[in-house]
Amino acid sequence: MLTVASPKVSDAEIDLRAKEIGEAIARNRAQYAPAEGGARFTIVSTLTHPVSTRVVQDPLNLLTDYLKEKGVASDLHVIIEPGFVGVDGVSDASDETLLDHTRRFINERLQAADFHPDSWPPVVIRDPQETRERLGLVAGDKYSYRQMDDFTDIIEKGLKSVPQATKVSRAGILAERIFLLYSQERIASYGLQPGDLPKILGARNITPAGGQLEAVGRNFSIDPSGEFKSEKEIGDVAITRTEQGAPVYLRDVVDVEQRL
- Its CATH architecture, for the domain 176-259, is 2-Layer Sandwich (3.30)
Distance CA 101, CA 122 (A): 11
Helix (H) or strand (E) run with residue 202 in it: helix 196-204
Q: Is 215 a residue whose pLDDT tops 80?
A: no
Helix (H) or strand (E) run with residue 39 in it: strand 39-46
- Mind listing the pLDDT tens digit for each residue in 113-151? 556 667 889 999 999 999 999 999 999 898 888 888 889
Contact 238, 249 (CB under 8 A): yes
Q: Which pLDDT belongs to residue 76? A: 95
Contact 80, 57 (CB under 8 A): yes
- Helix axis angle for 95-109 and 53-69, nearest 10°, is 120
Distance CA 204, CA 99 (A): 44
Percent of the chain with pLDDT over 70: 85
Average pLDDT, stretch 44-59?
78
Average pLDDT, stretch 17-35?
92
Where are the domains positioned within the chain?
A: 11-137, 176-259
Distance CA 80, CA 71 (A): 23
**pTM over 0.75, yes/no:** no
Q: Is 95 a residue whose pLDDT tops 60?
A: yes
Contact 179, 231 (CB under 8 A): no
Stated length of the chain: 260
Instruction: Give the model's confidence band at 201: pLDDT under 50 very low, under 70 low, under 90 confident, else very high.
Output: confident
CATH code, 11-137: 3.30.70
- Mind listing the pLDDT tens digit for each residue in 63-91? 999 999 999 999 999 999 988 999 999 99
Q: Is the dihedral of CA 56, 62, 66, 72 positive or negative?
A: positive
